[in-house]
Amino acid sequence: MLIDTGPIVAILSAADQYHQRCTDELAGLRPPLYTCWPVVTEAQWLLRRDARAVEGLFRAFASGLLALLPVDEEAMPWLAAFLRRYSKIEPDLADATLVYLAERERIPTVFTLDQRDFSLYRYSHHRRLKILPSPAP
Amino acid code (one letter) for 38? P
Using DSSP, state whether 26 is helix, strand or coil: helix
Quick: pLDDT tens for 70-86: 999 999 999 999 999 99
Cβ atoms of 121 and 32 within 8 Å: the answer is no
Q: Sketch out the chain's domains with CATH numbers.
A: 2-132 (3.40.50.1010)
Mean pLDDT of the chain: 96
Cβ atoms of 21 and 10 within 8 Å: the answer is yes
pLDDT band at 103 (very low <50, low <70, confident <90, very high): very high
The reported pLDDT for the residue numbered 123 is: 85
Pairing relationship of beta strands 109-111 and 2-3 according to DSSP bridges: parallel
pTM of the predicted structure, to 2 decimals? 0.94
